[in-house]
Amino acid sequence: MAANRLQNASGDQALIDRVCARMPDPTACQMCIKEDPEHENEDEPGLGRASMVCCIGRILTINRDIYNMANSSRDGSIRDICTKCTVHFDDSLKNLRDALVFWGYDLFQNATDSVGIAHSYFLQCANIIVGLPSPNPYIEALDTLEILLVNSEAMLSLL
């Protein structure tokens, strides 16, 4: 799944390979992985939520409903993303925006809406939720994710 999402987002196979090589095993942490049949992805049957990596190397599931949550309750929506990793919530928040930037990049590249609408839509995810501004996040999304994954190994050793 991750490889397909990256392939859709970039033609740089070397970068795709490096990022995918550092993706944690999705079965390694069952706490945050939940099936969501009500939001099943038509392109990937059985996968209702997009999986992303949080800053401590765990798989973080992000429901597409987070866009609506961000608009209605910013503080609450952040914590709702990952309810099982509350001990590491503050640490995870530091790099959550980077994970959202990557997820938003994929959505932006494959959006059926106009470029302007899609751009605005995913910027809400990347910037409004965490409140950290970024002028052009989708251009550097894959590089950001690679740095995030490399640093996650060092972060794990500090826990």
pLDDT digits (tens, 9 = 90+) for 148-157: 444 444 433 4
Enclosing H/E stretch for 59: strand 59-62
Nearest to 1 by CA among 40, 39, 52: 52
pTM of the full predicted structure? 0.22
Q: Output the pLDDT for position 14.
A: 54
Residue-range domain boundaries for the chain? 2-150
Contact 122, 21 (CB under 8 A): no
Across all residues in the chain, what is the average pLDDT? 39
Other CB atoms within a 10 A radius of the CB of residue 49 amount to 19
In the chain, pLDDT over 90 holds for what percent of residues?
Answer: 0
pLDDT at 6 over 50: no
With a pLDDT cut of 70, the percent of the chain lying above it is: 0
Contact call for residues 55 and 151 (beta carbons, < 8 A): yes
